[in-house]
Homo-oligomer: A and B are copies of this chain.
Amino acid sequence: MDTNTPAPGTVAVAEALAGQRIELPSWAFGNSGTRFKVFAQRGVPRTPHEKIADAAAVHRFTGVAPSVALHIPWDAVDDYAELAEFARDEGVSIGTINANVFQDDAYVLGSVCSPDPAVRRKAVDHLLQCVDIMDATGSRDLKLWFADGTNYPGQDSIRARQDRLAEALRETYDRLGPNQRVLLEYKLFEPAFYTTDVPDWGTAYAHCLELGERARVVVDTGHHAPGTNIEFIVAVLLRAGKLGGFDFNSRFYADDDLMVGAADPFQLFRIMVEVVHGGALAADSGVAFMLDQCHNIEPKIPGQIRSVMNVQEATAKALLVDREALAAAQAAGDVLGANGVLMDAYNTDVRPLVGSVREGMGLDPDPMGAYARSGYGERIVAERVGGEQAGWGA
């Protein structure tokens, strides 16, 4: 493929790229780390408002990141309508609400799955309050990831915990408004080390089926066992109409939460191929594209910008796949030919194409450079003095 000549359909590709929407996570702008150490960075936000301001900066340079996901209680404020207004003034909106039920001492043996009914009540109440917040912010999605699980065989009943989980999900689902959804996320392990109560897509899927139409599964790209074929799960969930969205990040080992596309860009491409071919890229598909990662050692705003760019580039390559040629080779059983069609798209350098899409949106084609030149990074270091930096450390 000659990269100098626009492939047929490049206009459609450019339009699709311009219409892509990637949601940013507020916590990515705060300090983060491992159990060994959280390294503080200068200029880190101290309030939900400052996190939103940083997310808005990412949007100004990329043009495709117009919403911010909140985590409650990390982003708890007195007036959520005011926070939503602030976001609008910054040029973004408040997106998904994440309910955190893992950082209170009561949750030592779990939250909605705890053997203690009082703890379960407390946890479900928190979920319900999150729906209240959604009402105030206009958010569509309640994203639920439970740290629940056990560390030792015998510690608790796997089955009883499933029953408790189902009960909590039911009460929460029934509280949703008609345009609200629950997105259920699974994760193999961490922080629980023997059982996790929603460890795989199958468990999340089974619960979503029980709940109803507006319950869907979220795929976090760092939450699988080694060797798991993530794009297969994406394809199967899309076929079943049960894919709610992505938490993008990347990993070499466990839930490393590195920048999406940094560890295995070919995997990200293959995932986006399933998204594109499954019709899930469009804004009205009901599939949410969210970043969910942290920047332990690199600066956070450029880390987010780079991540948005990585998703864009993988999407561009996925859009460039010659689907007719691919289908023909597949139907003919031409293994090398079909693989070759896919690799042709992957091996294309799409940076010029994505750059021109940005220019078409009135943006600098080089978001990293433009951000560096903007002085925003220096300004927040100078201004954000005193107060307590946002973080999520244990």
Of the stretches A10-18, A52-60, A296-304, the one at the interface is A296-304
Q: Which residues of B contact A231 (CB under 8 A)?
A: 158
How near does chain B come to A139, taking the closest CB pair, in angstroms? 23
Q: How far is the CA of A54 from the CA of B333 in the complex (A)?
A: 23
With A258-B151, A265-B266: A191-B36 Cβ-Cβ less than 8 Å? yes
Q: Which residues of B contact A313 (CB under 8 A)?
A: 347
Q: Which residues of B contact A356 (CB under 8 A)?
A: none
For the complex with contacts A193-B256, A225-B225, 4 further pairs of A-B residues with Cβ separation under 8 Å are A151-B298, A159-B238, A190-B253, A202-B203
Interface residues of A (CB under 8 A from B): 1-4, 33-40, 102-103, 105, 107-109, 115-116, 147, 151-160, 162-163, 188-191, 193-196, 199-203, 205-206, 209, 224-229, 231-233, 235-236, 238-240, 251-254, 256, 258-259, 262-266, 270, 274, 277-278, 296-299, 302-303, 306, 313, 326-327, 329-333, 335-336, 338-343, 346-349, 351-352, 368, 392-394
List 22 interface pairs A-B (beta carbons < 8 Å), by A numbering.
Answer: A33-B191, A33-B394, A34-B35, A35-B393, A115-B331, A152-B259, A152-B336, A154-B339, A154-B340, A155-B338, A156-B330, A157-B277, A157-B330, A158-B274, A193-B256, A195-B229, A195-B232, A199-B229, A200-B201, A202-B205, A224-B225, A394-B394
